Amino acid sequence: MSKTLKIILIIGAYLALAALTVYLFPRYNNAFNYHFEIGKPWGYDLVTAEFDFPIYKTDAEVMQQQREALQSITPCYIKTADLPNGAFVLSLEDFERLQTDGYKRVSVRTDKHVATTLSVSELMTPKTAYECYGEHCDPNIVPDTLTNARLYQNAIESVSLTFGLVQSGERIIDRGEIVTAQTYQILTSLARAYSEKNITRQQTIYVQIGYLVLIVLLIALFVSYLAIIRPNLFREVRATLFFCILMALLIAASFLILRFSADDMLLYIVPFAWLSILTTVFYDSRTAFVLHFITVFIVSLAAPSPFMFLFTQGVAGIVVIYSLRKMTQRAHLAHTALLTGLTYALVYTALTFTATGTYTHLQLRVYMFIVADMVLIICAYGVIYIFERTFGLVSDVTLIELSNVNSELMHRFAEEAPGTFQHTLQVSNLATEAAKKIEANALLVRTGALYHDIGKLMAPQNFTENQQLGGPANSMQWGDEGGDNPLLRMTNVDAAQTVIRHVSDGLSLAAKQGLPQVIRSFIASHHGTSLVRYFYNSEANAHPDQTVDEALFRYPGPKPTTKETAILMMADAVEARSRSLKDYTEQSIADMVNQMIDAQIQDGQFAETPLSFRDVEAIREVFTEKLIAIHHQRIAYPTLQNKK
């Protein structure tokens, strides 16, 4: 991928994230974006009325007053026939409706212009008329539907929805004041007035521009962090997509809840801990910290209670990062979920106490949301697997699984290439200790070292460590002293190409086994672009009057680009060379280590790595100490002398 295309993809990903965030933002059409509850202090600055607005009654008050207005009317009926006894009979259904609605009197129109007002107790049903007169009587009055509908409508409309007026400039509430029931009604009325107030298209555009500037600024802060502190991640398209998709998922979930849910507290079910968990697992805790807070700041722009939201999510994010610095077991994630849930519960309880001074305002549903959030945190284990497969990343749990020497591939390695397998184990141990010393990823180095030479499985007999014993260990002349070395029957060029081929064979086998890309990078770079020195020197000595083409004897690379791959290259060369030493003294081992590493440095093999001089010196010391310990001289056991 060209550099220009990478820049376009990276910039495009962050712009797409900003555009999605602005598009989903839930509060464009309401300028009154405050959260408040009765009995809690007002957490914002002084609020004054910017325009006249009425104080609306509560829905319960309106319904009660409308019910009373309906009961005050007199329902109208029409007389359809005269009965012999002058009785007024209506159906049982109409009679029960009058009693249920609480009406005491009705108006009965006996002809076109005459109406009689009767008490409900004077009306009869067919049953009571039969009991009274001993004969069946059909209903002779029916509801005047049109008149009653008009009366009902007038009664409902007579009830005012408001009970007062707040004038422009009038003080409503200031920071720290307790929200009373009356103040609550005024504030809800103001919010309703804002929502009903016609917002012009131009105003909407300005609101969107304002939020766009804030959102872009926050995203730009994260990009700046990557560019300054983590430039390797800043230049990586895969990392950019990882961060943008993870942020987009949580921001979209939050904004959709705020837009369509009537319960703002449901926002706390969104697993913001995923930000810290996934970023810590795949990258580092510092990046996780910054990403978590940037995302939480963006969501807080729309959160009902920004301070409470920021404080709660901020503390929880720090707890997640501290508790999950390394995830090497499934239990670690459950432990983090438990600590995060306890943190949420403690922070929510404490903030409620400080705001109200009582426990009565604690809401059970919030604790239920916290439990649901804990379950989602545990589900991050599956999300980690999805991100691994999608982005080609690798977690510590996966590295531990891959470093299991009892796997099928490792069993085959040990059986078919035993010498190489033992070399691999020694390299892995050396590289792991060096990585710990310079604070590199020791688990990644250990795993990469186990697989760096698996290409030799394709033709193990071509490598001296796997040939029949008969000569000095790891000697290229092995076949001359009892072993069979096929390379000695080839030309120097063919032999060098055969040795070099174990890198490409290893990459092919790694792809077949489905090994992660990060492990394949160890296979590809563990020799960098170095020379196959034995055959190159042999060819140069055999043709002293000719210029030998180095390209035929060099590995294709790439060179190591990380501390971890550089450590492996050093450990591989040093361990292999240590097998050819004649004398294992502290001085000979130290000289060998220095010679091998100096040669690699002079060859430019570590030019693309972030290794410092201090790192290199520390690695030298570790290799020397470990090799001395491995090859230390042992005390010769005395033989038992025959007693006379």
Euclidean distance between CA atoms 351 and 365, whole angstroms: 16
Q: Which residues, in sequence order, are CB contacts of 385 under 8 Å at separation 6+?
A: none
The shares of helix, strand and coil residues in the chain, as percent rounded to the nearest 5, are: 65, 5, 30
Task: Tell me what pLDDT residue 451 has.
Answer: 96
Q: What one-character DSSP code corresponds to residue 113?
A: S
Q: What one-character DSSP code corresponds to residue 439?
A: T
Q: Which residues, in sequence order, are CB contacts of 269 under 8 Å at separation 6+?
A: 257, 369, 372, 373, 376
Task: Tell me what pLDDT residue 229 has.
Answer: 93
Q: Which residues, in sequence order, are CB contacts of 134 under 8 Å at separation 6+?
A: none
Q: Tokens representing 44?
A: 């914002």
CA torsion 298→304→306→310, rounded to 10°? Answer: -70
How far is residue 591 CA from its own chain's centroid? 49
How far is residue 51 CA from its own chain's centroid? 43
Angle at 93 between CA 88 and CA 99, to 5 degrees: 80
Q: Which residues, in sequence order, are CB contacts of 540 under 8 Å at separation 6+?
A: 548
Euclidean distance between CA atoms 618 and 493, whole angstroms: 37
Residue type, 152: Y
Q: What one-character DSSP code corresponds to residue 178?
A: B
DSSP-derived pairing of the beta strands 76-79 and 105-109: parallel
Is 542 within 8 Å of 492 (Cβ atoms)?
yes
Residue type, 457: L
> What are phi and psi for residue 513, nearest 5 degrees?
-80, -5
Q: From edge to edge, which strands make up the β-sheet containing 105-109?
A: 115-119, 105-109, 76-79, 141-143
Model pTM?
Answer: 0.66
Splitting the chain (644 residues) into consecutive groups of 10 residues, what average pLDDT does each group show? 86 93 74 72 82 86 89 91 86 90 89 84 90 86 92 91 89 88 88 70 74 92 94 91 96 90 81 92 91 95 84 92 74 88 92 78 87 91 87 85 90 93 95 94 94 94 76 39 72 94 96 92 95 91 88 93 96 92 88 95 93 95 92 65 60
Handedness of CA 110, 112, 116, 117 (dihedral sign): positive
Of the candidates 281, 623, 608, 614, the one whose C-alpha atom is nearest the C-alpha of residue 444 is: 281
Element (H, E) at 166: strand 162-166
Euclidean distance between CA atoms 316 and 274, whole angstroms: 11
Longest dimension (CA), the chain: 153
Euclidean distance between CA atoms 445 and 68, whole angstroms: 80
All structural domains of the chain, each given as residue ranges with its CATH number in brackets, are 3-27+202-377 (no CATH), 63-157 (no CATH), 396-630 (1.10.3210)
